[in-house]
Amino acid sequence: MALIDIAHVVHAFHDVENPQPDGSGEPIVVVETDLQLHVHHPDHDKASVDALMQALSNHVLRNPHHFGMLRLRTAHGVTAHHANRT
């Protein structure tokens, strides 16, 4: 299963964390979700976020090369409408 096949993942892409002047850096995979991750946000749905975290953990078990590389964030422009879709 690809990352984008996981419920509530809207986009996943490779990036570099801590880029160096020579162009090197730590390779990461940014995973964007339509869920609100901030626990104090009124649209935060703990059960859905927990399910997403479990699915990502299962993904890492199947794809150990992604261990330590995933960075989860709420996609820009997410509204309550997006957060409530299934």
User: Does residue 59 contact residue 8 with C-beta atoms inside 8 Å?
Assistant: no
Q: Cα(65)–Cα(47) distance, rounded to whole angstroms?
A: 27
User: Does residue 83 contact residue 43 with C-beta atoms inside 8 Å?
Assistant: yes
Q: Where are the domains of the chain?
A: 7-18+25-83
pLDDT, averaged across the chain: 90
- Residue 52 or residue 83, greater confidence: 52
pLDDT single digits (tens) 40-80: 999 999 999 999 999 999 999 999 999 999 999 999 876 54
pTM of the model: 0.82
Instruction: Please say if the pLDDT value at position 3 is more than 60.
Output: yes
Instruction: Please say if the pLDDT value at position 84 is more than 70.
Output: no
At residue 86, the pLDDT reads 38
